[in-house]
A and B are shown apart, each in its own frame.
Chain A
Amino acid sequence: MSKKHTKLIFVVLPLLIVFLFLINLWYGSVVISWIDVWDALMLNVNANQASKIIILQYRLPQAITAMSVGIGLSISGLLLQTTFSNPLAGPSVLGISAGASLGVAIMVLLGGVVGASFSGTLLILGDMAIVLAAFAGALAVLLIIIFVSGRVGNAVTILIIGIMIGYLVSAIVGTMQFFSSSEDLHAFVLWGLGSFSKTSIVQSIWIFITTILVLIVTMWFVKPLNALLLGRQYAVSSGFNVKFLQSIFILISGFLIALGTAFTGPIAFIGLAVPHIARTVFRTSNHRILLPAVVLIGAALTLGCNFISKLPGYDASLPINAVTSIVGAPIVIWVIIKGRRMSNG
């Protein structure tokens, strides 16, 4: 990839994001004209009140959340793939999303079992309770992983332990599902399908700011990330404390996964796929390019998926988790086959 091409893509991608962002505001079950979208965004006093509410309270937070979570999951996928030097590493493998599910399952499913008093609390706390439960569950698994990675240096071992914790947690969740009432089960399944539309405008802005702050922190680690691509021992010989860095990268990616999953439910595929897409598009593994690349591609892809999920035009949109997989899996297969051919030729 020549430098010219790289620069060109870095100009095109932000434009694409702006375009997809606006499309997300404009399109939905209610048709709103571009002029009304503009008036609403500019907080114009004369704007159509109905469309103003739809844009500012529903579509804008949804788009911001989609973009932020896309960025967060993509960064975490990149960090995990480099840390574990494993192309299959992603948010789901470390068991962190499973941890979030467990948190929510305890709140939603067990809450029903324990009794009405609990459900009452749930009603008062509402969605925020689920967010907190997901966050707590994700962080709990994250802490276990960090504890393990402090004792076990070997990245592959940590990865396998992460996968095992994931299975274990999923089994517990499965058992709880078996014993829960159908209404609770329905609520839990809905959460598991994922949605970007559960956040308020304030929450979505906070998610965005937090994600950008984490991104800025991550930018300081471009050198050690590159050094890790050469393998552990070369990274050590380049003057890096690999064990410490490993914990830092797990912490950063775990936090991003917890943040995203808490507010939107588990979002499949983005974290795994975006780094692969970025490598193939930019034809580099250098994190100085790859890190901004996954940020932009992650944002564009989730905005695109969110738009597609609204395409049927019904009141309710398609579950985002299904869309990311249906749209994404073929892209990854295509990207990997194309990348193979190019590198062989």
Chain B
Amino acid sequence: MDSSHLTNPEGLQTASTLNDRLLQVENLITGYKLSRSKILSLHNDINTSIGKGELIALLGPNGAGKSTLLKSLTAIIPVLDGNIYYNGKNLSNLSRKEVARLVAVVLTDKIDDKYLTAYDIVGTGRYPYGSFTGKLTSSDKLIIEKSFKDVGASELKNRYFHSLSDGEKQKVLLARAIAQDTPIILLDEPTAYIDSPGKVIIMNLLNDLVLKQNKSILLTTHDTELALNYATRLWLLGKENYFEDGVPVEMIKSGLINNLFDREGVVFNKRNRRFEKV
């Protein structure tokens, strides 16, 4: 288990030789400071990277620390130790505004407000840029329109966000991330609470962003089977410091997927890439 953090050599090669490393993670320790003396560390020593045009699925059972890792990468929550580099610059030396221009997020946080329109929400994606007064410039407006179009949700623009279905909300939040115009987008469970066709639509949208706009995407998901169809790389996160980084084909072959979700009576069928009853 101790050597498990050593990345799959093949996976690392894909990242370093074919792509520029947009994000580099060194000896990262994620977790929470419970009090001044008490620390709850979830993962010790994560070493990995995100390259241009990659779609990485972060898989793992509930409570493994997927969201924590995701939020640590964007400085939403502080890391316990280690370094995160964006384009070679240390995250801790970047201003919040600079970070917001490098990475956009889609979170699972509920947005309760009743009178925000979808347009208002996507508009906040433009906040890391431009003026202080909250007035959107004409170029902001063009980018917002295009972002709505990219996710196929132009007809939702003037709807109140809280009146949308979960699938529509997810599209709007994705449009917000696109409007933020960052090379990297991180998404926390973008396919949760969405019906099956909706999940495929979201994954197709993300795939399009990677292929057509050369974005890099990292997403957490519990839809493992679906994610395997799209991901160019997998990060597996388990309890007790387990972290594994590699390409899907290799990880399926070596049985890592099966081991990660070790439940009695269920196995991962390597051929049709599905979980099945024993």
Interface positions of A (Cβ within 8 A of B): 85, 219-220, 222-224, 226-227, 229-231, 233-234, 236-241, 279, 283-288, 339, 343
| Contact assessment for A222 and B133 in the assembled complex, using a CB-CB cutoff below 8 Å | yes
| Contact assessment for B132 and A286 in the assembled complex, using a CB-CB cutoff below 8 Å | no
| Contact assessment for B113 and A285 in the assembled complex, using a CB-CB cutoff below 8 Å | yes
Smallest beta-carbon distance A154→chain B, Å:
13
Cross-chain contact of A239 among B100, B107, B117, B162 (Cβ < 8 A): B100
| Contact assessment for B134 and A288 in the assembled complex, using a CB-CB cutoff below 8 Å | yes
Cross-chain contact of B120 among A231, A233, A234, A286 (Cβ < 8 A): A286
Query: Residue of A at shortest CB range from B100?
Result: A239
Cross-chain contact of B121 among A85, A230, A239, A287 (Cβ < 8 A): A230
- Complex alpha-carbon distance, A233 and B77, angstroms: 9
Q: Within B135-165, which residues are at the interface with A (CB < 8 Å)? A: 135, 160, 162-163
Task: Answer whether A234 and B107 are a contact pair too, CB < 8 Å, given A219-B133, A239-B97.
Answer: yes
Cβ of B268 within 8 Å of any chain A Cβ, yes or no, is no
Interface of A is mostly: helix
| Contact assessment for B160 and A223 in the assembled complex, using a CB-CB cutoff below 8 Å | no
| Contact assessment for B116 and A285 in the assembled complex, using a CB-CB cutoff below 8 Å | yes
Smallest beta-carbon distance A233→chain B, Å:
5
- Complex alpha-carbon distance, A231 and B107, angstroms: 10
| Residues from chain A with Cβ under 8 Å of B75 in the complex | 236
- Complex alpha-carbon distance, A285 and B118, angstroms: 12
- Complex alpha-carbon distance, A237 and B104, angstroms: 7
Q: For the side of the interface on B, what is the size category?
A: 35 or more
| Residues from chain B with Cβ under 8 Å of A240 in the complex | 96, 127
Task: Answer whether A239 and B111 are a contact pair too, CB < 8 Å, given A222-B133, A226-B120, A288-B135.
Answer: no
Cβ of B200 within 8 Å of any chain A Cβ, yes or no, is no
* Complex interface bits, B95-115 against A, C-beta within 8 A gives 1, otherwise 0: 111111101110101111111
A-B contact pairs, 5 of them (CB 8 A): A85-B112, A223-B133, A226-B134, A284-B117, A285-B113
Smallest beta-carbon distance B97→chain A, Å:
4
| Contact assessment for B99 and A222 in the assembled complex, using a CB-CB cutoff below 8 Å | no
| Contact assessment for B96 and A239 in the assembled complex, using a CB-CB cutoff below 8 Å | yes
Query: Residue of B at shortest CB range from A85?
Result: B112
- Complex alpha-carbon distance, A241 and B96, angstroms: 7
What are the nearest 3 A-B pairs in CB distance?
Answer: A239-B100, A222-B134, A285-B115
| Contact assessment for A239 and B101 in the assembled complex, using a CB-CB cutoff below 8 Å | yes
Cβ of B198 within 8 Å of any chain A Cβ, yes or no, is no
| Residues from chain A with Cβ under 8 Å of B125 in the complex | 238
Cross-chain contact of B114 among A227, A237, A285, A286 (Cβ < 8 A): A285
Cβ of B207 within 8 Å of any chain A Cβ, yes or no, is no
Cβ of B61 within 8 Å of any chain A Cβ, yes or no, is no
- Complex alpha-carbon distance, A245 and B162, angstroms: 25
- Complex alpha-carbon distance, A343 and B163, angstroms: 8
| Residues from chain B with Cβ under 8 Å of A237 in the complex | 74, 76, 100, 103-105, 107
Task: Answer whether A229 and B111 are a contact pair too, CB < 8 Å, given A222-B134, A284-B117.
Answer: yes
Task: Answer whether A230 and B124 are a contact pair too, CB < 8 Å, given A236-B96, A279-B115, A285-B116.
Answer: yes
- Complex alpha-carbon distance, A234 and B169, angstroms: 15
| Residues from chain B with Cβ under 8 Å of A284 in the complex | 115-117, 120
| Residues from chain A with Cβ under 8 Å of B114 in the complex | 279, 285, 339, 343
- Complex alpha-carbon distance, A288 and B76, angstroms: 26
